[in-house]
Structure 1
Amino acid sequence: MHYALNPRTFLFSHYFYSGLRVAVGVIGLTLAVFAYSSLPVAMTVCIGALCTSLMDLPNPLRHKFNEMLASVLLCTAVTLIISLCAPVHWLLGVMLVLVSFLASMMVVYGRRTLPLQFAALFIMTLSMENELTVPQAFLHSALFLAGGLAYLAYAMLVAWFLRRRIKQQVLAEALFELARYIEIKADFYDMHTNLHAQFNKLVRQQIVLADKQQASRDLILRGTPGARDAVLIQVHYSMIDLYETILSTHTDYALLRRHFADTDVLNRLHELIRKAAHDLESIAFAVTRKRASYADVSYETEFQAIETVLQQLQTAHAHEDRLMPGMPDEAVIVLRTSYNKVREVVDMIGQLHLASQTAVAPLPVLPHADMTPFLTQQKYELGLLIASLNLRSSVFRFALRVAMAISVGLLVAEHLPYASHGYWIVLTIVIILKPSYSMTKQRRGDRLLGTTIGCALTALILHLVHAPLALLGFLFLATVAVPSFVYIKYRYTAIAASMQILLQINLMIPNSTGVIGERLLDTLIGAVIATAFSFVLPSWEYRALPRLIKSVLQANRRYIEATRDLLQSGGRDDLLYRLCRKRFMDCVAGLSATLVRMLDEPANKQYAVEELNLFIVENYLVVSHVAAIRLLLRRHAEGLPKESVDAILQQVSARVGNMLDQAQRLLDDPPPLQSEAAETKPLHDDVAGRIAGPEHLAWSGWQLLQRRCKMLQADADKIVARSAALGRELRVFRQRV
């Protein structure tokens, strides 16, 4: 369950704050205008504020202002154009299709423009019913503009006063998702879970975690940090370091299960890591409440139980000159290493508690460090839009789908036997029809169910409640809920949005309960049209797979090289390493998200699902191995034979880099199945063993480095073989499609 759906955390989340902020602004502005003017004027101002609120997101202040101002100006222009064309029926139809196309083309600038696209289409659908004279159209647009600008000023003022609070909430959300990530890691030690399924679950959570960590970076690291932000910066960096340590905890879970299935040690590890996840949740909850966090979780029971088992194994080794019968040395080493890493995770969570309490100079940000590469960069260049005006562009195809679907929706509305409202059908199409089939499918189900429930609840409220003030109270609650759940549970937003519009209609036109049934039928018609057009000029996810797979391999290689340079230099400036790691994980998350969306598409459009799953997991494991090597060298710094370790790192990184190059070649030009073994022959050269001498064996980290280098090369081997299989399946799939 999403953390914000828990009542304990929802009231402190930025989702609830956003909903409350929007409701107070929109409803408050409407009541203020209504006190000095007529209801139609107040409702026009209300719609202007409501459209602007769609862009009221937790962003840096400058970005928020630019995006909301763009929304105000764009939506005002759409309002004026549609209002002027409304009296001329054929011209209105042409402009509706044209505006739909152009608004949908804005998606080319990324998902951050999706709310702007929806705002433009939303006001388009509400304005299409207006039949105004030219002076009335300009007055109507001016009132809309006034509402939008008034809400913009209100939202910026609130955001300025709450700018640190928003940072706390976004940082806390990243901590909650990291705690969820740790909880998934704990289940690897549960004998009842399937390892392959658990890896897939972990990688899916990585998508969410990467997104939330990026949101935290964008708010906390942008600009010059002030003294009041010191604690937040400390917590953010401690969170990122903890994340890297958690990555390094990957081990040979199958080996542990094989040799320790009959003991209680795996259950203890499982419980220990779950406690760590709950401990991290307590830090996140404290951050949401603007409080320092203090540890209240005890790990001593698990520590003592695991250390007792390790002591028994050591005693058995001392007495018999070997470990327990049938218990290989390797299994015990893996167990002890896993336990030590989990203890390190626990220690770092303790450091997170301390980081949340008080600022300690100096800050972990390097002086004069340019953090721009770590932050989201949004560029709105006309050339990008023009370059996408062709059928090869998925955005262009989406814009055509929307325009055609709205055209059909308008035609259907004109020929319905009852007093239909075409804007409701069009609005349903706009809400449901999204750039990907997966998003469209999800929105369709949520919209149908949400509208049905919302209409039923509204009918019940209107039957029992007649006082306008009480109805206004329900309208306020619905207005709070709409933005609160739009990004975490859209079904709840669909319920609240239906109630919001129906209550507004009833307040303007009392006793208009008959419109509820019409809304349900219009929603069903719009959903059918949107579903049908989701198959028109579709952009199936498999088309993007070759590009995404190549980007993962390229980012993987850059990450390996950056790690080698960092470890060999011994420098403390790890910004390049962190940047390469971030870009690699972003690429893996992007491929994973594409795979998840593809699973919602028709079966005949799904390509190499199992191979892709394994490819993603194996690339993810490379990050785990690299993180483990970095922390290993830090933990065993005493007596480290630097020249020999540098030689190993150089040779292993070169070997892995060559494998990744080979993987890219095989993806483009896969060998026939019968020659695959020869083309992707694994390389098991033991570099560490070949370099090792007596002086190296005395170093405490030598065996661990040996083992981790072997695991890294083994997973690189698998990536090569997987790339060949993916290339071959993609070729066959293209021929079939």
Structure 2
Amino acid sequence: MTVKPLSAPACFWRRLRGSDRFAECVRVLLALGGIVAWSLFTGRFAEAIPALLGAIACALAETEDHWRNRLGTLLVTLACFALAAFAVEWLMPWPPLFALALPLATFALVMLGAASGRYATIAGATLILSVYTMIGSDLPGRAAPELLRQPLHLLLGAAWYGVLSLAWSALAPQLAIRLALARLFDALADYLEAKAALFAPLPGLDRDALQLALARQNERVVQALNDTRLVLIDRIGPRRPRGATAEKLQLYFVAQDIHERVSSSHYPYDALAEAFFHSDVLFRCEHLLRLQARDCRRRAEALRLHVAAPAGVAADAALDDVRSAIAALHGRCAPPAQALLHSLDALLRNMAAIQAQLAGGAAASTPAAGADSALQDPGPRSLGEAWARIRIQFTPQSLRFRHALRLALALLLGYAVLRAVHPQNGYWILLTTLLICQPSYGATRRRLLQRVAGTVAGLVAGWAALHLLPFGPAQLLLVLSGVVFFAARQRRYITATAAITLFVVLCFNQLGSGYEVMWPRLLDTLIGAAIAALATWFILPDWHRRQLSLVLADTVRSDARYLARIIAQYASGRLDDLAYRIARRDAHNAHAALGGVLANLLREPDRHRQGGEQLLRFLTSAHTLLGHLSTLGAHRQRLAEPDVLEAVEQAGARAVAALDELADALATGAAVAAVGDEVGPAAAPGLAAAGPEIARLVLTQLGLVVAQRDRLAALGTEIAAGT
């Protein structure tokens, strides 16, 4: 039966409905549209503007919670909003008191984010609402007896959006999980594509550059895994998962297993390309990985559209082709070296396991779907634990403490400037400083350029709208600009800034001051951007080279813990229990953090990013080491022979000790000796030659781990010398 192709409008609607931002944009459209409709019906435009700002602030504070947890989060958010809005209104007539309270409140709210990501989101939105309250105080036509009505309208707007959010969450409880899993499988597809590029046996291919791209793509997969885990923890809670939630949990474990297998590196790719340059086996492997990437994308699309994922028939055929090609290599009169063939056999088993996971989905019979399906909840379990997390950050060495102090002083400076330059419409200085000032120099510089460019574009669009559009379409454009802001704010910040600038111009135009607000908006943006830049440069600057040694050490130390958990399972058998999954996640998180630090460091001024080439090589080599660890994890199984197990455990213990030794040396800047052939096939020649196949694989991988460890030691010495 032929399937009738969808029309262009139907395809567009499917893509739109499956977008990650669709649900939030619809909620924002309903919230802003409802407020504007109320203002048109009542004619109370001045009161609608604070309500619009309150709805936007509440949307910024939104987290992907189940409706029960979202209700509690909403109540906390409204309480913080009320305290901030009324405090601003009460203190603004007394500038000295306001100048004292502003940095203290800013510091407290930023430090509150140390408790958990949820509190950090609420704290950031509360700071934004505080500045919205200040901006609302500049609205023309406000009488002094009515000043305290603005916080009420801000809260009503926030509550209105909160009600819509609660209703949406209750009506579509699985939507957030499906979207998170879809983003995860999209990230896995990109990772598979990046991994496939390594298998091309082409002369002159820069595999170090490909490894670097693979390491950076791995950061996106790790972030997607972490985001999905948080959504699942919120939905499951202390209960045993049931029904659709249990299926989504198993699909998350499938994605975890695929990630570990795709991360695996069975043999150096340069050696494989050289040995099989005249064979088609690597091309077949590359083709299979690309087909599996396509199947991951199809599964992501199926999750977004809530339909069944199509079967990967082409990938099954490609897997058979790889199997036949490897069998032909074994049957040659002069076969390649046994070590290479063993690596290809292990690679085939790994890709076959990935294909089985993709074909089975949530119903796949995977070890990850076994008895231990617990997830580690990163949130605080009590107020005491939350306070303990905050208190531990009260040290000048803490990045959060430094950012909180920097932002507090920057806003205080901005307030002093606006009092000196132009108190009327000057609070956009504070909003710009708040939004531009980021924890790192690189992020601040990027946000500064995007903010200024977006503001200019938004003012041009606002000027055109005021000239060309009558009142009714301008009201509609006001709502649409707010929706565009939320649609673009995570991926296209310039567009988002332009949209929210247009939104502000149209809001003030409802009161007859649309043109008058344009130049102050531009001037305040430039002043606020300059203050944010100066604060990032001069107030406790966080140049990433200062923390580099600790980040390098933590990466290697997390690898050592991961390896220790892997080796233990060769005695007990494969089991994806909570302890093992925590060790694996910590290792990948540490590598992702290393990539983030390196990316930020390379954006810093020249004098702070010396030795960038060595750092890039360190990141590439560290990711290669993680690939060999993932290979050991992907092929875990119980070793029945006591003498074989003892040899593997001894070799594993020496490799773990070598990694721990390197971590200590990186933390202190000391030199460390190379391990060489003390671990690996050369250390146990009898077992490597005649032992079980799995033992040979483990010894080979441990030898490759130690080789990368020695390379990291040499690079660490070069980096320490250049610091």
Give the TM-score range, shorter chain: 0.7 to 0.9
Choose 717-726 or 448-457, whichever is displaced more.
Answer: 717-726
Aligned letter for 1:684? Answer: D
Assess, with a 3 A threshold, how the Cα gap between structure 1 residues 572 and 419 changes in structure 2: closer, same or farther. closer
CA deviation after TM superposition for structure 1 residue 443, in Å: 0.8
Is the deviation greater in 307-316 or in 165-174? Answer: 307-316
Classify 1:539/1:692 alpha carbon distance in 2 versus 1 (closer, same or farther; 3 Å). Answer: closer
Aligned twin of 2:425 = 421
Specify the alignment match of 2:290 in structure 1.
Answer: 274
Instruction: Name which of 388, 404, 425 aligns with 1:399.
Output: 404
TM-aligned CA deviation for residue 56 of structure 1:
1.2
The equivalent residue for 1:145 is 155
Shift of 1:405: 2.8
Change (3 A) 1:313 1:680: same
Q: What residue number does 2:545 align with? A: 542
Answer whether contact 1:179 1:281 (CA < 8 A) is retained: yes
Secondary structure of 1:441's aligned partner: helix
Structure 2 CA distance, aligned partners of 1:421 and 1:385?
35
Residue type matched to 1:291 in 2?
Answer: V
Tell me the equivalent position of 1:519: 521
Q: For residues 251-298 of structure 1, what are the alpha-carbon distances to aligned partners after superposition, in whole Å with 9 as ceiling and x for unaligned?
A: 310112223335544333323211211111001100111111122551
**Residue in structure 2 matched with residue 125 of structure 1 by the alignment:** 131
Equivalent residue for 1:207, pick from 209, 215, 219: 219
Q: Distance in 1 between matches of 2:444 and 2:463?
A: 28
Q: How does 1:130-209 map to 2 (within 5 A)?
A: 130=137, 136-190=146-200, 191=202, 193-209=205-221
Aligned residue for 2:158, secondary structure, equals: helix
Q: Hey, what's the Cα distance between the residues in 2 that align with 1:413 and 1:656? A: 60
Structure 1, residues 627-678: CA drift from partner, whole Å, max 9, x if none?
32344354xx8xx65323311321122111220232133224445xxxx5xx
> In the TM superposition, what are the counterparts of 1:182-331 in structure 2 within 5 Å?
182-190=192-200, 191=202, 193-221=205-233, 222-223=236-237, 224=239, 225-296=241-312, 298-299=314-315, 302-303=318-319, 306=322, 309-310=325-326, 312-317=328-333, 322-323=334-335, 328-331=337-340
Per-residue CA deviation, residues 96-130 of structure 1 (Å, 9 max, x unaligned), is 44434443443444655454343233233233352
Cα distance change on mapping 1:377 and 1:594 into 2, 3 Å: farther
Determine if contact 1:409/1:422 at 8 Å carries over to the other structure.
Answer: no
1:338 paired residue number = 347
d(CA) in 2 for partners of 1:714 and 1:44? 62
Q: 1:295 to 1:508 in 2, by over 3 A?
A: farther
Distance between the aligned counterparts of 1:120 and 1:300, measured in 2?
A: 52
* Counterparts in 2 of 1:19 and 1:364: CA distance versus 1, 3 Å: same
Query: Which residue among 690, 696, 711 is the counterpart of 1:697?
Result: 690
After superposition, where does 1:667-678 map in structure 2 within 5 Å? 667-671=666-670
Partner of 2:91 in structure 1?
Answer: 85
> Equivalent residue of 1:597, what SS?
helix
CA contact 1:84–1:133 (8 Å) conserved in 2: no
Matching residue's letter, 2:535:
F
Query: Deviation of residue 377 (structure 1)?
Result: 4.8
- What is the alpha-carbon distance in structure 1 between the residues aligned to residue 382 and residue 601 of structure 2? 28
Question: In structure 2, what is the Cα distance between the partners aligned to 1:264 and 1:8?
Answer: 39
| 2:538 counterpart SS class | coil
Check whether the contact 2:330–2:341 (CA below 8 A) recurs between aligned residues: no
Distance 2:134 2:601 in 1: 36
> 2: CA distance between counterparts of 1:686 and 1:479?
60
User: Aligned partners of 2:367 and 2:677: how far apart in 1?
Assistant: 43
CA distance in 2 between counterparts of 1:581 and 1:63 reads: 29
Tell me the distance in 2 between the aligned counterparts of 1:343 and 1:621. Answer: 22
1:714 match: 707
Shift, 1:250, TM fit: 4.4
Note the C-alpha offset of 1:133.
7.6
Task: Give the number of equivalent residue pairs.
Answer: 699
The corresponding residue for 1:19 is 25
CA contact (8 A) 1:451 1:494 kept: yes
TM-score, structure 2 normalization: 0.87
Cα 1:7/1:438, change in 2 over 3 Å: farther
Alignment equivalent of 2:82, drawn from 76, 81, 84: 76
Structure 1 unaligned residues grouped into runs of 5+:
1-5
**d(CA) in 1 for partners of 2:400 and 2:633?**
41
TM-score (norm 1): 0.86
Superimposed CA distance per residue, residues 302-325 of structure 1 (whole angstroms, 9 cap, x where no aligned partner): 5566556545534432xxxx23xx
Distance across 1 between alignment mates of 2:314 and 2:692:
33
Closer, same or farther: CA 95–572 of 1 in aligned 2, 3 Å? closer
Deviation at 1:32, TM superposition (A): 3.7
Q: Which moved more, 1:418-427 or 1:70-79?
A: 418-427
| Aligned-residue RMSD, C-alpha | 3.3
SS at match of 1:422: coil
The amino acid across from 1:344 in the alignment is A
- The DSSP-based 3-state class of the residue aligned with 2:198 is helix
Maintained 8 Å contact 2:131/2:431: yes
Amino acid of the structure 2 residue aligned with 1:219: V
What is the distance in 2 between the residues matched to 1:53 and 1:579?
A: 32
Distance in 1 (alpha carbons) for counterparts of 2:116 and 2:279: 51
Q: What residue identity is the alignment partner of 1:521?
A: L
**Which deviates further from its counterpart, 218-227 or 529-538?**
218-227
Secondary structure at the counterpart of residue 198 of structure 1: helix
Q: Does structure 2 retain, via aligned residues, the 8 Å contact 1:65–1:156?
A: yes
- Rounded to whole Å, the distance in 1 between the matches of 2:624 and 2:126 is 43
Distance in structure 2 (CA, Å) of the matches to 1:703 and 1:99: 60
Unaligned runs of 5+ in 2: 1-11
Q: 1:20 to 1:531 in 2, by over 3 A?
A: same
Give the drift of 1:150.
3.3
C-alpha deviation, 1:531, in angstroms: 1.6
Provide the C-alpha distance between the structure 1 equivalents of 2:525 and 2:573, rounded to a whole number of angstroms.
Answer: 62
Distance 1:203 1:74 in 2: 40
Q: CA deviation at 1:444?
A: 0.8
Q: CA deviation at 1:694?
A: 8.8
For residue 498 of structure 2, the aligned residue among 495, 504, 510 is 495
Shift of 1:139: 3.1
Counterpart of 1:214, as a letter, is N
What is the rounded CA distance, in whole Å, between the counterparts of 1:57 and 1:193 in structure 2? 44
Structure 1 residues 643 and 522: alpha-carbon distance in aligned structure 2, compared to 1, 3 A threshold: same
The one-letter amino acid paired with 1:178 is L
Deviation string 1:401-456 (CA, Å, 9 cap, x unpaired) is: 3233334434444555x896201222111111112212211111111121122222
Moved more, 128-137 or 156-165: 128-137
Q: Could you tell me which amino acid in structure 2 is paired with residue 228 of structure 1?
A: A
Q: Quick one: distance in 2 between partners of 1:641 and 1:86?
A: 75
Q: For the residues of structure 1 that align with 2:129 and 2:482, how far apart are their CA atoms?
A: 17
- Tell me: CA distance 1:665–1:413, structure 2 relative to 1, closer, same or farther (3 Å): closer
Find out whether 1:452 has 2:456 as its counterpart.
yes
